[in-house]
Amino acid sequence: MTKNWLITGASSGLGRGMTERLLARGDAVVATLRKPGALDDLRERYGGRLHVVELDLTRLDTLRTAVAHAFAALPRIDVVVSNAGYGLFGAAEELDDARIEQQIATNLTGSMQLIRAAVPRLREQGGGRIVQVSSEGGRIAYPAFSAYHATKWGIEGFVEAVAQEVAPFGIDFVIVEPGATRTNFGAGLDRTQPMRVYDATPVGEIRRALDAGYFEFADAAKTVDAMIATIDSASPPLRLALGRSAYESIRASLIRQVEALEAQKDIALSVMEKA
């Protein structure tokens, strides 16, 4: 059975890859992007099964209008994929106010408002699925990505709460947590001016590793295939980790957290009022 999709950030990376795969198998896609011409080749190939809507998530005055156009383009939307976003790289001290505000406006506020705009429409049509593309950085943290992590940890908390609110309406969520993947994410990083004082710190180590390409990458095509297969399943998990770095880093972090929590059990319970 074919599906109808709304995908944000569809001009490149995982968003573009999903759009291509879904159209090729016969689905219909409403793709949003800031520069509509980026998908002209797909529009020529697939005609009316691809609808392109211009959308900048940081412009909240036009976001709801864009979502309304997307839902009007097709009889129903089965899956909404909140994919648009980028990374801000630099030590917290190196970041400037404007960069922090832009990172939050795009990755966190924009994603929250997209979900808020989609929920009533999915509820009115009797249900649907929302996919939030996060990152392994939504559950672990690396130096020099503090603002990025703030947005990804934030959107994951938002989604986990909203998922409980809208489950009675037949709306469910999948949070996708890719690790390092062979896309244009690295090339699109917004990098701050380095401060020499951080050269001999973990920030400097990460910066040098990025410059040298010392990372193991997941295959983008395989990642897209795994995402679509999971989204298509009847009962997908709330969170989907993809790639070796995501699986191993998240697993190690969860083990450390549980061990640390268990070590605090006595003091945690000591503050309870006596019955």
Q: Which of 148, 198, 245, 249 is catalytic?
A: 148
> What is the 3-state secondary structure of 60-129?
HHHHHHHHHHHHHHCCCCCEEEECCCCCEECCHHHCCHHHHHHHHHHHHHHHHHHHHHHHHHHHHHCCEE
Q: Judge whether 27 and 1 are in contact, CB under 8 Å.
A: no
User: CA 84, CA 99: separation in Å to the nearest integer?
Assistant: 17
Q: Is 214 a catalytic residue?
A: no
Q: Is 148 a catalytic residue?
A: yes
Q: Judge whether 174 and 80 are in contact, CB under 8 Å.
A: no
Q: Which of 11, 82, 111, 134 is catalytic?
A: 134
Q: Is 233 a catalytic residue?
A: no
CA 66, 102, 218, 176 torsion-angle sign: negative
Q: Which of 82, 152, 245, 249 is catalytic?
A: 152
Active site residues: 134, 148, 152
